[in-house]
Amino acid sequence: MLSIFMNGFETGGYQAALLYVGQEFDLSIGQQGILASVQLFATMIAPLLLGALADRIGKKIMLVVFTAVRVLSAAIILLATDSLVFAVGIFVLGFSCSIVQYVAIAGMQDAYPLTRNRRMGFITAMFALGAVIAPLLVGWSLSTCWGWQGFFLISGIIFLILTVLLARTGFEPREPAREEENRAAQSGIYVKGVALLCFIMFIYVGVENGVCFFLNNFMLDTMNSTRGYLALSLFWLAMIPSRFLCGFLAKYRSRLIVAAPFGAALLLAMLSLTSQETLAFLVVFVLGFFCGGFYPNVLTYVADFAGGKTATVTAAITVATGVGATTISASFGLLHDYFGFSGAFMVLAVLLGVDIFVAMLVPRLQQRTDR
């Protein structure tokens, strides 16, 4: 869970720091979008290159090695004197975090076959908790002599400690699998179901990153607020109770997986029309609550469609999230040029609306796999 917490920590911190990175390296909104997409592109290609490797060589070695790589990435970022070197460091960071993300989730599913649906809400809530704390740390580090680099310094130290802890941790199953779980593990990957889950996450994570990377800029431009990093922290804070509830209410996942995109699309449309800081904080918080329902509900369906290949299927979903995040974040600058921040957010809200119809199909396919 600490690995997932640190992935959320890195995500929220980079999103909050992007504005200040752009200011230091004199980057436009479009160039900041490209810089954001560098990390997200790495997130996309990492599972493409190494997706099934964890199912073959073991999940522990993958987690230890790529957590150590995160220490290297922090060092590159801290030594960066221009945006190109920074981009190299953030690429390495995104690549390693992507591997850690899907391997850690697959490892949890394998270790707890009986309670994995409930635990999925907990583990994704840990990601959100990390993303809550990180923007606050970025805000604090700006008042120190380190500036935004202080965030990456602290991250590197924690990654080093985490590497040692993972090397000393066992990854044996904690619960015996039921007979139906064993049968599911021999059934093979259900491609249609996996494809729908990938599409949902393609749109959602793309929209999430488009909003989070530019929420700071949106509030500064639209309402002259310099507290956009607090709004970002509120967004991730709302995800914590949302994801815990999804874990406890996993038996209602067929409804929750549809409710999440419906509520998120509505709240994002409201945010695009908001021009007052206090109201923006409220809308962002409720938006985060609905967004919190995407990841845990999608991941609870992974085991139904994975046929025992949890790392492979989770990697496929991670690739889809990387593709969506990369393309939408990279294109946000173009959307901003044509429609402004408010119009760009409205376009993203329409994209979330597409997820509503796709999410309705998932429970029907899951029922077929149970027959």
pLDDT above 70: percentage of residues in the chain: 91
Q: Render pLDDT for 21-33 as a digit per residue (tens, 0 to 9).
A: 999 999 887 788 7
Which pTM does this prediction carry?
0.77
pLDDT of residue 277: 93
Q: Which amino acid is at 141?
A: S
- What's the confidence (pLDDT) of residue 77? 95
- The pLDDT of residue 348: 93
Mean pLDDT of 98-102: 86
Residues 314, 264 contacting (CB under 8 angstroms): no
pLDDT tens by residue, 208-235: 988 888 898 899 988 988 888 889 889 9
Distance of alpha carbon 31 from alpha carbon 48, whole angstroms: 26
pLDDT tens per residue, range 154-200: 999 999 999 999 988 776 766 665 555 555 444 555 788 889 999 99
Q: Model confidence over 121-162: pLDDT tens digits?
A: 788 788 888 988 998 899 899 888 899 999 999 999 999 999
pLDDT, tens digit, for every residue of 291-339? 999 988 898 887 778 776 777 787 788 888 888 888 887 788 788 888 8
* Over residues 356-367, mean pLDDT: 85
Q: Which residues contact 197 (CB under 8 A, 6 or more apart)?
A: 298, 301, 302, 305, 317, 320, 362
Alpha carbon separation from 181 to 112, 116, 248 (Å, rounded): 11, 12, 20
Q: For residue 181, what pLDDT is reported?
A: 52
**Beta-carbon neighbour count of residue 143 at 10 Å?**
9
pLDDT band, very low/low/confident/very high, at 369 (cuts 50, 70, 90): low
- Specify the pLDDT at position 328: 83
The CA distance from 359 to 265, in Å, is 13
